[in-house]
A = this chain, B = another copy of it.
Amino acid sequence: MSMFGLEESEIATLVRAVSGDTNLERQTIEDRFARATWSGLAEPGDRLAGRAVRQLGPSRALTAVVDHWSAARFAAELTQESDPVPEDDMRQAMERWLPRLKSDSALIALRQAARFGARLFTPEDALWPARLNDLDWHAPFALWVRGTDAALAGLVNGMALVGARAATGYGEHITMEASAGLVDRGYTIVSGAAYGIDGMAHRAAIASQGLTVAFLAGGVDRFYPSGHDSLLTRIVDNGAVISELPCGSPPTKWRFLQRNRLIAAASVATVVLEAGWRSGSLNTAGHAATLGRPLGAVPGPVTSAASAGCHRLIRDYDAVCVTNPDQMAELAPLDHEAGVLHPEPHSAAEDAGVLHSTETTRLLDALSARSARTTDDIAARSGLALAVVRARLGMLELDGRVSESERGWKQAATPSTPKNAQTRATVL
């Protein structure tokens, strides 16, 4: 028998294995396999993919791609009275997804997951972090998890502690106090396993015998950063390491930004402990604010550039000034059952603005500075439609940020724009 044109028996065996349930029925297996496939087919946060999976169900949405539905038919199936799907958007979406539709890529990811003891969670699972559903069409298709059930369940009391990689002694000190103090108050510490503030937040939680959860921007089979290999191994033993991307997926700048939305969405509140003016942690703060989650920031010396981002959040983005674990806990007291939070609807203009800079980010992520890549290859890696890739490469070439040789495209030797330019545009 076959499933999406693949041999069904291996799929069933693998899905049962990574789901930790030997009694799954065929339709469940098909749905879970479809979600696993979607998690590698569309880039994190792909709104139209999320909408298709939500409206049609993961299997039928995947069938639409596998069967090469016309854009007109696909758009018509998704269109709701109040919210039409432009055929052109649908065509571009198919152009993003189809280059990645290789017959065995989901199987390879499943085999790798099984090898690493990673488990697959979908929204139907009891341990699925329900707050992620607040992301609506931007919610992840599935989660790949290495770690304990206790940590997943503990996400109900998750508090995000984030900050800059370039932390100062001051920043690390207050992070340690915050993490330990919040563990004492019953919170699970959520962060991104980066150097600096993130790493300290996880470490202090483990040292305090608390639960901690790390969201990664790449697959959970290969820890990033590699310098945090042993820390992440300890998090697997004492907490959970989670990604929405299947095993084998490398982290990219785009994926880091999207990973931040999971940290913010999975937590009752987000606290930025130390962050420079353009720190990536401000992006996490922006997601928290967009989701209506309480946001706190710890002040520091105004003479320290490492605290400038925190002051910016307090000053310009209504972050609450928090100076100790008690005040952080006040952001979202555990006594209160966290109600369902309603994500604010994005305006079309916002979407357009974000799309523009985010496409560039994804494109640059898909390029190498050393080896030239073909546009087909770049389209597959970036998850962008081939036509978009071609058009945007041309613009980037004009900016001197990419160059073309007869073997393909690569990043220009000396990028003329500051790396953080796009980050800044999308932050908040």
Contact = CB atoms under 8 A, between A and B. Distances in A.
Contact of A427 (B174, B308, B321): B308
A372 B423 CA distance: 39
Nearest to A174: B302
Contacts of A321: 299, 311, 314-315, 321
A321 B321 CA distance: 9
Given A311-B323, A321-B315, A301 B423 contact: no
Interface string A291-310: 00000001111110101100
B324 A173 contact: no
Contacts of A324: 302
A372 B330 CA distance: 50
A127 interface: no
Interface centre among A300, A301, A305 (most CB of B within 10 A): A301
A428 to B, nearest CB: 7
Interface residues of A, number: 24
Contact of A327 (B173, B174, B315): B315
Given A308-B323, A321-B315, A327-B315, A174 B299 contact: no
A320 B315 contact: yes
Interface centre among A170, A174, A298, A315 (most CB of B within 10 A): A315
Contacts of A301: 170, 299-301
A173 B303 contact: yes
A170 B304 CA distance: 11
B314 A302 contact: no
A386 to B, nearest CB: 20
Contacts of A307: 299
Query: 6 nearest interchain CB pairs?
Result: A299-B299, A302-B323, A315-B321, A314-B321, A311-B323, A301-B301
